Structure 1
Amino acid sequence: MYQVMKTKRLYAFALVIALLVSLLPITKANAAYNLAWSDEFNGTSIDQNNWSFEIGNGSGGWGNNELEYYTNRPENARVESGNLVIEARKENYGGMGYTSARLKSQGKKSFKYGRIEARIKMPKGQGLWPAFWTLGSDIGTVGWPKSGEIDIMEHVNNENNTHGYIHWDVNGHAQYGGASHAVDVTQYHVYSVEWTSSAIKWFIDGVQFKEANIANNVNSTEEFHKDHFLLLNMAVGGNWPGSPDGATAFPAKMYVDYVRVYQDGATPPPASGIVNGGTYKLINVNSGKALDVASAGTAPGTNVQIWSDNGSGAQKWTLYQNADGSYKLINVNSAHALDVAGSGTGDGTNVQVWNDLGNGAQKWNLIKNADGSYKLINVNNGKALDVSGSGTADGVNVQIWTDNGSGAQKWSLVKV
């Protein structure tokens, strides 16, 4: 994506590229990774702790003769209905004929190795060029292509496939990559790479379509053994796709449901703002009441409810991070874990305390909302910790329910 025109044929580095082509069979993605970081785009605005914006025309089209002016306006980038929306518009702005957005995690989030994926759907149209990619974090000092670049997903024009590439320096620019198998890009798909010390593999929906060998810095691939940051953007025009034509529909929208990074055996960072091993009370945003063990009970199976905040041990929970990045919540009074009854998965299944078993029914992903509150998503069933019927009275049951972003599913974590 960065300062290069790609084609569907090999360049002068044919011998280098031939050495990079793997003879391994097509494989499924590795399921052993642990979630290290994600942005689920479930708030009301773009999380500035994760992303910043590139602004402008890149001094003449970002090295690719692109035609857009990138902005940070909500017209071009926003969070909407659980998606990051990047919208390209046909309008005169900043001396260019189109606007769009380009987000990057530079200086905020960077990674070396793991599975990097995003669930995306895109528009088709002559001159459109959406992308999900990485750059080496040292680009500011070494420049491109010495920084290295991994193009996880690029799509141009009306093609029925995407592309995956790497770019690096071998006394000049080298690249390897190519087209995926057929895919309807206008529907959601998970685009990913699995990046290890020996190889980079490209996948769509878990099915591999390309692989590059980087073991032992073969062919000067040391660029791929250091931290990279993430980028999401939609270019308009440029050397590769060419210019839009009269059939290109604007505005054109790229939807990103989530971005996730998994790492093999890694210790995930704590959830934003959470102290591992810290004790908290959880105050429901809708009712203003605390997550409470009924009657300060200590027996397994005691119901969990909301109750007026009284500072008792029945309303204090110690949060311990699991190896997969989720948390268990241990009640201070009973020493039992916050648990979904019977490991249930249906809407309305009751929440209780139970002996600490370490199973999925007792694991909760803590996801920070834009207002600073958290939603707690149960690992076993993917549903949210919820106050039944959005109730506000003392004694209303707590349950699991499909994640809907309501106040009944938002909890302020107050450290005690």
Structure 2
Amino acid sequence: MSTSRISRLSRTPVTALTALAVTLTGLLALGPAGPASADVPSAPGWNLQWSDDFTGPDRSLPSSANWQIDTGHGYPGGPANWGTGEIQNYTNSPDNVRLDGSGNLRITPLRDGAGNWTSARIETHRADFKAPAGGTLRIEGRIQMPNVTGDAALGYWPAFWALGAPYRGNYWNWPGIGEFDIMENVNGLNSVWGVLHCGVNPGGPCNETSGLGASRTCPGASCQSAFHTYRFEWDRSASPNALRWYVDDQLYHSVNQNQLDAATWANMTEHAGYFILLNVAIGGAFPDALAGRTPTAATVPGRPMLVDYVAVWTRGGGTTPPPTDPPPSGSSQLYLRGAGAAGDATGSGATVTLASAGGANHDGTPHSPQVFTSGPVTRAYNGGSTQFDLFVDAGTTVANGQQVRVSYDRTGDGTWDRTETYNYFATDPVPGYEHYTQARGLRSATGTHGDLTNGRVRIEVWNAIGNGGSTLGIGNQSSVRIPFG
């Protein structure tokens, strides 16, 4: 089990890691996998939602339509050293990240003459990978870990993982938004770790910063010497819901909904979804915990992680319409309603008009907004973050962008103690509603959260750019989930 790459350095424990590196025996051993596949494999009974098989010329970068490349030592405004103490500088150089011309992505850590390490980390643009209501999500990759072992591997930390969409633009709401580590490995050990991170840090229901995890040896050939298939499933088809981890189709770890409290489960599942990451870190809390300070002078650079494909499937379920009945009393889900109210859903949908920006730029500053207010509200802050799903449409208007600001008055005294403005959402010029969610990321935030005591919540929606009006669905169509229990 890992110490998460998002955890605070001052809270990095080394306990329980060794105990979780337990080898599971007695399972069917499979032979080593072959070289890169020609295509993403079929998965009978599953519907392919997204994939990349990394086909392209040698030294070309991964598809910019699918991936964004992280650079430096952390997100702007986020934890230093990516929150884990890893020492490498991530770059977009083909020396560190490239297609190899043979159907693989290569992420290669390198060390220069002065001892400085570079490597690469990429993440999907899409941040909406989520199990459908009543169905199952499957995220899978066929990967060969860096082929290095022993002292030469000390400090290597390859990973294939997913983070909750609300992390984008915030960078301080981990672990509440959820993290699924589909494949992790450190120090060239012949083991794969699968880990869930959730709740609060430190401690909490997921034992942070360590998380809830398990490990096992790779079937047949070692993790380092051959490709293996690593799969994660999020199953909402049965009660309780379940999370499952596999290597080469062999189940080795699971967590079900009943193991966590309802609020923790909701915070990591009831948002827009997840984005997928691939990286090779050098050093940091997890490799250090198992081997002391890493890397060492014996660590050998230049051993790449190879990725044949990454794919996302779903099975069963479907698109669930917004609820038409009021949520239970005390729900944190606020629906936008007529007459400027926010509260329980009404029985049917309606619309309001967002005034044109008039060709001006109102990014970050409400311009003739539609305003919805809820209160008085007395609730305890649960440590999470604001989530929303707004139904918006600009018809055939080109380049319209809707924007939302959510403000919290903790005591009802007229002072907005916490104000969050999210990046605007550019609707397409095709009639039909689209979902604007917190996955667009925070543009700015002021103040701090705290318990609400006869407090108020204000939601403002306006057109930030463009030269035409837009439509906002209300009633049972657009909602904001506030982080209060």
Asked if 2 retains the 8 angstrom alpha-carbon contact of 1:55 and 1:70, the reply is yes
Q: How many angstroms does 1:248 deviate by?
A: 2.2
Q: Deviations over 1:323-367 (max 9, x none)?
A: xxxxxxxxxxxxxxxxxxxxxxxxxxxxxxxxxxxxxxxxxxxxx
Q: Which residue number corresponds to residue 2 of structure 1? A: 5
**Residues 1:212 and 2:255 aligned together:** yes
CA 1:172–1:248: 2 relative to 1, 3 Å: closer
Measure how far apart 1:73 and its partner are: 0.8
> Residue 128 of structure 1 contacts residue 157 of structure 1 at CA under 8 Å; is this kept in 2?
yes
Shift of 1:60: 3.7
The partner residue of 2:110 within 89, 93, 104 is 89
Note the alpha carbon deviations across 1:356-412, whole angstroms, 9 max, x for none.
xxxxxxxxxxxxxxxxxxxxxxxxxxxxxxxxxxxxxxxxxxxxxxxxxxxxxxxxx
**Which of 115, 119, 124 is equivalent to 2:138?**
115
Output aligned runs, 1:231-246, within 5 Å. 231-242=277-288, 243-246=294-297
Cα displacement (A) at 1:43:
1.9
Give me the whole-angstrom Cα distance separating, in 1, the residues matched to 2:280 and 2:17.
Answer: 25
What is the deviation of 1:146?
1.7
Equivalent in 147, 159, 172 of residue 131 of structure 1: 159
> CA offsets per residue over residues 71-108 of structure 1, 9 Å max, x none?
01111000111101001001279xx8100000011x43
In structure 2, which of residues 205, 213, 223 is the aligned counterpart of residue 185 of structure 1?
223
Alpha-carbon distance in 2 for matches of 1:232, 1:6: 24
When residues 92 and 263 of structure 1 are mapped into structure 2, their CA distance, relative to the original with a 3 A threshold, is farther
Distance 2:178 2:184 in 1: 16
Structure 1: distance between partners of 2:56 and 2:270: 33
Which residue of structure 1 aligns with residue 275 of structure 2?
A: 229
Q: CA 1:163–1:185 in structure 2 vs 1: closer, same or farther (change >3 Å)?
A: same
Percent of aligned pairs sharing the same letter? 36
| Structure 2 SS opposite 1:120 | strand
Q: 1:10 to 1:86 in 2, by over 3 A?
A: closer
Q: Is the 8 A contact 1:117 1:261 kept in 2?
A: yes
Match of 2:94 among 52, 70, 74: 74
Give the CA deviation at 1:61.
Answer: 1.8
Counterparts of 1:281-360 in structure 2 under 5 Å?
A: none
Give unmatched runs, 5+ long, in structure 2: 21-26, 29-42, 132-136, 289-293, 320-485
Segment drifting more, 83-92 vs 163-172:
163-172
Deviation of residue 240 (structure 1)? 1.4
Q: Structure 2: how far apart are the matches of 1:149 and 1:103?
A: 16
TM-score normalised by L of structure 2: 0.48
CA distance in 2, matches of 1:188, 1:84: 13
Decide which moves more: 38-47 or 214-223.
214-223
Q: 1:171 to 1:188 in 2, by over 3 A?
A: closer
1:65 to 82, 85, 95: 85
Q: 1:34 to 1:6 in 2, by over 3 A?
A: farther
Contact 1:152/1:202 (8 A) holds in 2: yes
Note if contact 1:49-1:108 (Cα within 8 Å) is conserved in structure 2.
no
Instruction: Give the corresponding residue for 2:121.
Output: 102
SS in structure 1 at match of 2:316: coil
Structure 1 unaligned spans of 5+: 12-16, 18-24, 269-416
Quote the residue 1:42 is aligned against.
Answer: 55
Cα pair distance change 1:190/1:10, threshold 3 Å: closer
State how far apart, in whole Å, the 1-side matches of 2:14 and 2:234 are.
24
- Distance of aligned partners of 1:181 and 1:91 in 2 relative to their CA distance in 1, 3 Å threshold: same
Partner amino acid, structure 2, of 1:47: S
1:110 and 1:230 in contact (8 A); partners too:
no
Given that 1:60 and 1:66 are in contact with CA atoms closer than 8 Å, whether structure 2 keeps it comes out as no
How far is 1:110 from its partner? 2.9
Report the alpha carbon displacement of residue 147 of structure 1 after superposing the two structures with TM.
1.6
Matched residue SS, 1:138: helix
Residues 288-307 of structure 1: CA deviation (Å, up to 9, x unaligned): xxxxxxxxxxxxxxxxxxxx
Q: What letter corresponds to residue 180 of structure 1 in structure 2? A: R
> Does the 8 Å contact 2:218/2:228 carry over to 1?
no
In 2, the alpha carbon distance for the partners of 1:10 and 1:102 equals 24
Counterpart CA distance in 2 for 1:246 and 1:98 is 12
Amino acid at match of 1:155: N
> Is the 8 Å Cα contact of residues 65 and 238 (structure 1) preserved in structure 2?
yes
What count of residue pairs does the alignment treat as equivalent?
Answer: 251
Displacement of 1:148 in angstroms is 0.8
Write the distance in 2 (CA, Å) between the matches of 1:10 and 1:255: 26
- Given the two structures, how large is their TM-score scaled by the length of structure 1? 0.55
The equivalent of 2:471 in structure 1 is none
Which one-letter code corresponds to 2:197 in the other structure? H
Q: Which amino acid aligns with 1:122?
A: M
Q: State the partner residue of 1:380.
A: none
